[in-house]
Copies of this chain bind each other. A is one copy, B any other.
Amino acid sequence: MGCAGPGQDGALIDMTSELEQQMAFTDAETAYLGSQQLGRLATIQPDGSPQVKPVGFRVNPGLGTIDVTGFNLTSSQKFRNVRRNGQAALVVDDIASTDPWRVRFLEVRGTAEALEDGVDGGPLIRIRPSRILSFGVEEPPGEPHQTRLHARDLAS
């Protein structure tokens, strides 16, 4: 009558939560971020409304940040938005399965800097995570109803 598996996975995740609080990203999150080529960056327009664009990105393991790159970045509206407003959210996602329909994602919200000279001397938008939300990233593929939203706040 035992029901092994999901509960044990859940226990493992809980056991690592204290460590996760100190590391910006878990190993599963870092691997997932590395597996995707595009993220979508949301920033705030001067009038307070949102805009969202596909961007390139990479994890900066030393700083625990997400560094966003792009063609002609410094002349883009999103770069000006970040410079003025200092806020951004980035989501990375994919369709893990179409039957059953199963979308995974990792969203990073936080404060953001618009840097003219970042890593390798190129411009970038650097996001310092204040909240990380994920769905289907920590768990191995399983039944959709066993997947749950992970959300945590990080000390600034």
Residues in chain A within 8 A of chain B (CB atoms): 37-38, 40-44, 48-54, 87-91, 93, 95, 103, 105, 107, 109
Contact = CB atoms under 8 A, between A and B. Distances in A.
Given A49-B109, A109-B49, A91 B38 contact: no
Contact of A51 (B37, B38, B42, B49): B42
A122 to B, nearest CB: 15
A88 B38 contact: no
A88 to B, nearest CB: 7
Q: Which of A41, A43, A51, A87 has the most CB of B within 10 A?
A: A51
A74 to B, nearest CB: 16
Given A50-B109, A52-B52, A53-B105, 12 more contacts: A37-B95, A38-B93, A40-B40, A40-B52, A42-B89, A43-B50, A48-B48, A49-B109, A50-B87, A51-B89, A51-B109, A54-B103
Contacts of A54: 91, 93, 103, 105
A29 B91 CA distance: 23
A2 to B, nearest CB: 30
A93 B40 contact: yes
A135 to B, nearest CB: 9
A42 B48 CA distance: 12
B48 A107 contact: no
B38 A89 contact: no
Contacts of A95: 37-38
